[in-house]
C-alpha cells in the first residue's frame, strides 16, 4: 500500500530527494499563504527603513521591528508544523533517526 500523507493538500510534503537535492513540496494554497506573509514582512522592513531615514522616534521603530519579528516567527511556525507533520514523520517511518538531530538543530536556531 502506498503511503499517502493526509496533510499533503494542506502543508505539502518534504523529502523528495533527487540527485542529493532536498526539496519540499507545499500545496499551492500553502505557498500562496507563505508568500503573502513574506511580502507583507518585506513591506514592513521597507517601512522601518523609511522610519529610520525620517529620524522617527526610536521606540516607534523598535515596535515595528518587534512586529516584523513576530510575523517572521509565524512564518517559521507554519513551516515547522508542516515539516514535523510530513518530512519528519516520513523520515522516521523510513527508518532515518538522523532527522531528530537535524530537527533539534533547527529548533535551537528558531528559538534564539
Checking if the pLDDT of 22 tops 80, the result is no
Domain boundaries, the chain: 8-110
* Residue 26: CB atoms within 10 Å: 20
CATH domain 8-110 topology:
Methane Monooxygenase Hydroxylase; Chain G, domain 1 (1.20.58)
Checking if the pLDDT of 16 tops 70, the result is no
Q: What tens digit of pLDDT does each residue of 59-68 get?
A: 999 999 999 9
Global confidence as pTM: 0.77
Q: What tens digit of pLDDT does each residue of 31-88 get?
A: 899 999 999 999 999 999 999 999 999 999 999 999 999 999 999 999 999 899 888 9
* Distance (Å) of CA 94 to CA 3, 36, 70, 79, 99: 11, 33, 34, 21, 11
Amino acid at each position: 500500500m502506498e503511503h499517502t500523507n493526509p496533510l499533503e493538500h494542506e502543508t505539502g510534503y518534504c523529502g523528495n530527494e533527487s540527485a542529493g537535492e532536498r526539496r519540499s513540496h507545499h500545496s499551492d494554497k500553502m505557498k500562496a499563504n507563505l508568500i503573502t506573509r513574506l511580502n507583507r514582512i518585506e513591506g514592513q522592513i521597507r517601512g522601518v527603513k523609511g522610519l529610520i531615514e525620517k529620524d522617527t522616534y526610536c521606540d516607534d521603530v523598535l515596535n515595528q521591528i518587534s512586529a516584523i519579528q513576530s510575523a517572521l516567527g509565524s512564518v517559521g511556525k507554519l513551516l515547522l508544523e508542516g515539516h514535523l507533520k510530513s518530512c519528519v514523520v516520513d523520515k522516521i517511518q523510513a527508518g532515518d533517526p538522523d532527522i531528530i538531530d537535524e530537527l533539534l538543530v533547527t529548533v535551537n536556531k528558531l528559538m534564539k
